[in-house]
Chain A
């Protein structure tokens, strides 16, 4: 009796075949998933309907194509933000999936504001992860929490990632951040993600550092890996 392999993994196992090739149904199902992921990458963020109060900025990438081709432009803010002075700033960016931000950002921002002393929420259009460094530096935040649409997987077009950086300033490296990845309905729940992010942000503030050194001895668990795929 053959096993139903799909009970054990979300991978595309046990696919239907015709000859040695995939059946029509399998091929079109794959195409539909790819189309959704592609649309997520090219979708423009609708900042007007995000459902939370924010200050809006744009990166120096002027459109989606420029954003994809020039990661350096997506890391820089066009214009300048006023100094606020705060413990925590939240930066929300479409990254590689505006869909992720449309679906999950409002809920995550609300939960984080309950858990952390958030001084300002900034929405950055066409930003990469590192744009949070410049924004955090300009507004004078001790810790920046970046919420950004991750690179869409074939069955996860709406995955949100979070990056916690202590002492944000231009030039911070990825080794100086902590990442919480895969925030979406089928992945990490809002509650678990918000608690983990808040824990990391508090630890970062207390210990005055973030990244590899924070993870090394203080964090019970950090989800790594896929986070490196988001708009870094």
Chain B
């Protein structure tokens, strides 16, 4: 069987793979595919790219950036043995192997792992990044404060932002999804957030998640751009559907670096199903496509990368069980590849999921050492119409597992001004 076909059949059941026609047709076929996958040598993934080298620039990136030296530690193993190796490996061994692991190897081994394996191995890997805060340290869990507003009203955004700051949210970044992707809207929001950050001396970074080209225009217009954001996928065609390619990301990365505002300057979002949605999955299962997106991400040494796991809808991840497994797979694969992985623990109202499912995934990700989650007022994003995690959810997780915010932000919280008395911002 072709490797690509085997990967699809070995994948845990999810609606997107059924929709794509790559899923196993019975439970037994699924487990038999896993038994066969366990015997596949890791090296076969280097010899048999799932998408041809000539056809896809993400494949070329994966092949050309593969570190044969780092791969040496696991190069003689089969996928099943790789799982065993991961369970026994030390934190140092896991960090050292990252550059030798391809996304397809990570995806393959994840298909043989139980939920507890995904949690245990990920929890051993720290991927630490820095801008004004340090994110991903052991015993820490950060939040992206997400104060979206359906008409990009600056006072409306500010109100949600103050609410979040008062509840200790925002150490990963303050990141707004604009309702309108225009330079003027981006510049206005960026200036407002940056003004608040400077006035209240908040150690964090801001981002307005427009299209990368709009953010580049904003940079040219002199806007205070900390992080440059883009949605990315695991094939060239998926990225084209987002209106980007690697050359464009290269240009944005250089431009953001040249501003000299921080060390890690990029922010990426991903999510299983985007490749199929774009008709650009090349017959691969959606989780393998997703892992390939992390190869795109790691090229740019990003501050933040998160899967928006339940956003895409039930035709890709049908229910709470599928969403939870996908979130843990994405976090594990990202960390194994050396990506600073967070997660937007989320669901839409047409998925078979609810707040209880999110509480479960949130808690499991906390145990797995997830770098950050989202902070949305009351978990209800009134612009994007989906439910994520709330400021209170983050407080719950920190208290339950003894997790703390990023150290710089923690110090600010200890002496922070009365955020809710900042009337100047709203008058």
Contact = CB atoms under 8 A, between A and B. Distances in A.
Interface string B315-359: 100100000000000000000000000000000111000110000
B421 A8 contact: no
Interface in A88-129: 96
- Among A22, A26, A225, chain B packs the most CB atoms within 10 A around the CB of A225
A150 B150 CA distance: 15
A8 B192 CA distance: 15
B156 A11 contact: yes
A182 to B, nearest CB: 8
Interface in B174-198: 179-181
Given A21-B396, A156-B385, A151 B378 contact: no
A8 B149 CA distance: 10
- Among B148, B313, B378, chain A packs the most CB atoms within 10 A around the CB of B378
A70 B421 contact: no
B141 to A, nearest CB: 14
B114 interface: no
Contact of A5 (B159, B396, B399): B159
Given A30-B355, A154-B387, A68 B350 contact: yes
B318 A11 contact: no
A9 B153 contact: yes
B: contact size bracket: 35 or more
A38 interface: yes
A225 B179 contact: yes
A20 interface: yes
A213 to B, nearest CB: 15
Given A15-B392, A34-B355, A224-B180, A26 B378 contact: yes
Interface in A151-166: 151-157
Interface in A54-104: 68-72, 96
Given A9-B156, A71-B315, 6 more contacts: A15-B392, A22-B392, A69-B315, A96-B350, A154-B385, A226-B179
- Which 4 A-B pairs rank lowest in CB-CB distance, beginning with the nearest? A12-B378, A153-B385, A8-B159, A9-B156
19 contacts: A1-B421, A2-B418, A3-B422, A3-B423, A8-B155, A8-B156, A9-B377, A11-B156, A12-B377, A13-B378, A34-B354, A34-B387, A68-B315, A71-B19, A72-B19, A155-B382, A157-B349, A182-B150, A226-B384
